[in-house]
Amino acid sequence: MRIGQTSFVSFVSKALSSVAGFAATILFARLLGPTVLGRYYLLLSIVAWLSLAGSIGIGSAITKRMSEGNDVGEYKTAGGLVIASIGAAIALGLLVFQGPIEHYFDVERIDFVVALLAVGLLGSYVDAMLNGSHLVHVDAMLKVARRIARTVLQVGGVFLSLGLTALVGGYAVGGLVLVIPGLYLVGRPYRLPRRRHFERLFEYAKYAWMGRLEGKTFQQADILVLGLFVPSALVGVYGITWNVANFLIIFSSSISSALFPELSKLSADDRNQQVATLVEDALSFTGMVTIPGLVGGLLLAPRILRIFGEAFGRGAQVLGLLILSVLFYGYQTQFTNALGGIDRPRAAFKVNAILIVSNVTLNLVLVYYYGMIGAAVASATSTFLSLIGGYVVLRRHVSFDTPVVQIARQAGAALAMGALVAVANSVLTRMGDPLSNEVATTVLIALGAGTYFVVLLSVSPDLRSVVRDNAPVSVIRD
């Protein structure tokens, strides 16, 4: 399957998954309120950090070594043994220190944390093997099935008045939808590893863990810090707002997922010019969804967040900053993804360290003084700093050109879209909002998306070429 097609399949799969989760989140927000959701997001944040400790970059190392095509069975077994051992040690620690953990983090049941940790580590292991086997599109489709299963289970539990238990139980059980089929599809061989296989995994993982830590910091640090300083209800509002912004990163993350195995293979074969070409292609299309999303988010933030309930309207003041963070992070991820693909984990380590240190430091200071706005400013600032660092570091290893023209076309199309959406939104407001907020918001988003892609296709021959090259043959003929 072509890289463009793999990216598209991954994007569509992630979009469907996110839409299903988006709809469920609206339901949960209206039925459970910000306080319960705040506890749920805080719990997921804790488990995310524990899962990170349980893999210490081994997942990324599994993907890297398997994608190279040598000793695949040995690396699968070695990686699984390492993750299982560390996960068991963490679970034991949770049970031993159950009392302090429940008190400090307001966790009612430690068995919830252990269950989510186990499913999370299993999911990370299977995900790493699928990507390392160049089955990125399969992994993406399984994640859709996982998200749908989680949503169905959670919605059913909420209607049975199980509250937080429904959210946690559905999340854990639904995760098995990825694990069980994924293990089957990866298939054999699983061979007994030697010492050198463990050494090569740790050789890559000792730097790659920083990339995993960076991702968790970007996704979870602000929520965890907010949990220390503000009420659960405000954490819930911020969590919903962050979910809205994070929806826009699925396209750039799909590109990263599709490119990593290919970059790894090309780098192993010393095909440096093709590596540079792939980096340029990635940068050309990373902002294709996020750039118009930023414009639309600034214009429609109050409408979008009112869909979740009036209590979540407070998130409108930070939505633009969070989308800006996602935009910066999308480009930064392409830089660190390329560094990892060409087997430069130490260089990626440095870039990731910039985001982690600046994000945590700024969050601790700004959240204490400014609350939710401080968290959003911390995210935007730290991602921008790491974006600059990623560009500088990657240029030392890969000679690529920044596709300024293509990015400018996307920005121009987004501004044209914004002008039309602003006029339409103003007309609806002057008419006294004859449509419900949900219907009006959907119409405005659809109008904006349609306008953006029509304008972009008309001004971008590169995009037309990509669409033509990756479309099915039958579609082109028609």
Choose the weakest-confidence range: 318-322, 391-395, 397-401, 448-452: 397-401
pLDDT at 13: 59
Structural domain total, the chain: 1
pLDDT at 268: 62
Residue 270 has pLDDT above 70, yes or no: no
The answer to the question of residue 472 being in a domain is no
Name the packing angle between helices 461-470 and 437-459 (round to 10°). Answer: 100
Residue 445 has pLDDT above 50, yes or no: yes
B/e letters for 90-110, b = 16+ CB within 10 Å, e = fewer, are: bbeebeeebeebeeebebeeb
Q: Which parts of 97-162 fold into alpha helices (H)? A: 98-105, 110-132, 136-159
106: left (phi > 0), else alpha (psi -120 to 50), else beta?
Answer: left
334/253 Cα distance (integer angstroms) = 9
Q: What is the pLDDT of residues 28-45, one digit of tens each?
A: 887 887 778 777 877 777
Extract the tokens encoding 136: 């990125």
My answer on whether omega of the bond before 189 falls inside 30° of 0, hence cis, is yes
Q: What is the mean pLDDT of the chain?
A: 80
Query: What are residue 313's phi and psi, to 5 degrees?
Result: -60, -25
Q: Which residue has the tokens 């995009």?
A: 463
For 432, which DSSP code?
T
pLDDT at 73: 81
Query: What are residue 309's phi and psi, to 5 degrees?
Result: 130, 155
CB 311 within 8 A of CB 235: no
Residue 419 has pLDDT above 90, yes or no: yes
pLDDT at 261: 62
The answer to the question of residue 455 being in a domain is no
Say if residue 259 is exposed, middle or buried (CB neighbours under 10 Å; 0-12, 13-18, 19+): buried
Say if residue 73 is exposed, middle or buried (CB neighbours under 10 Å; 0-12, 13-18, 19+): middle
The residue among 337, 387, 336, 395 whose CA lies nearest residue 358 is 387
Residue 347 has pLDDT above 90, yes or no: no
CB 182 within 8 A of CB 169: no
pLDDT at 478: 43
Q: Place 159 in a pLDDT band, splitting at 50, 70 and 90.
A: confident
Angstrom CA distances, 361 to 317, 354, 364, 376, stand at 22, 11, 5, 13
Average pLDDT on 174-186 reads 81
414/423 Cα distance (integer angstroms) = 14
94/56 Cα distance (integer angstroms) = 18
149/177 Cα distance (integer angstroms) = 7
130/186 Cα distance (integer angstroms) = 6
B/e letters for 202-224, b = 16+ CB within 10 Å, e = fewer, are: bebbebbbbbbbbbbbbbbbbbb
Largest Cα–Cα separation, the chain = 72
The answer to the question of residue 409 being in a domain is no
Question: Residue 93 corresponds to which amino acid?
Answer: G
Average pLDDT on 202-208 reads 73
107/97 Cα distance (integer angstroms) = 12
pLDDT at 310: 82
pLDDT at 104: 58
Q: Place 473 in a pLDDT band, splitting at 50, 70 and 90.
A: very low
The domain in which residue 105 lies consists of: 3-402
Total Cβ atoms within 10 A of residue 449 = 16
The answer to the question of residue 475 being in a domain is no
Report percent pLDDT > 70 for the chain.
Answer: 83
pLDDT at 416: 94
Angstrom CA distances, 130 to 93, 356, 424, stand at 30, 27, 45
Q: What is the pLDDT of residues 348-375, one digit of tens each?
A: 888 888 888 898 899 899 988 888 899 9
318/325 Cα distance (integer angstroms) = 11
Choose the weakest-confidence range: 53-57, 321-325, 348-352, 391-395: 53-57
CB 62 within 8 A of CB 75: yes
Name the packing angle between helices 98-105 and 110-132 (round to 10°). Answer: 90
The answer to the question of residue 55 being in a domain is yes
Q: What would you report as the CA-atom Rg of the chain, rounded to the nearest whole angstrom? A: 22
The answer to the question of residue 446 being in a domain is no
CA end-to-end span of the chain: 21
Residue 439 has pLDDT above 70, yes or no: yes
B/e letters for 117-144, b = 16+ CB within 10 Å, e = fewer, are: bbbbbbbbbbbbbbbbbbbbbbbbbbbb
Q: What is the pLDDT of residues 120-145, one digit of tens each?
A: 888 888 888 887 777 767 777 777 78
The residue among 106, 101, 104 whose CA lies nearest residue 90 is 101
The answer to the question of residue 352 being in a domain is yes
Q: Place 474 in a pLDDT band, splitting at 50, 70 and 90.
A: very low
Within 13 Å, how many C-alpha atoms sit on residue 2's CB side? 10
Residue of higher predicted confidence among 448 and 42: 448
Q: What is the pLDDT of residues 277-293, one digit of tens each?
A: 888 888 888 888 899 99
Number of H helices, E strands in the chain: 21, 0
Q: Which residue has the tokens 């459970």?
A: 32
The answer to the question of residue 79 being in a domain is yes
Residue 5 has pLDDT above 80, yes or no: no
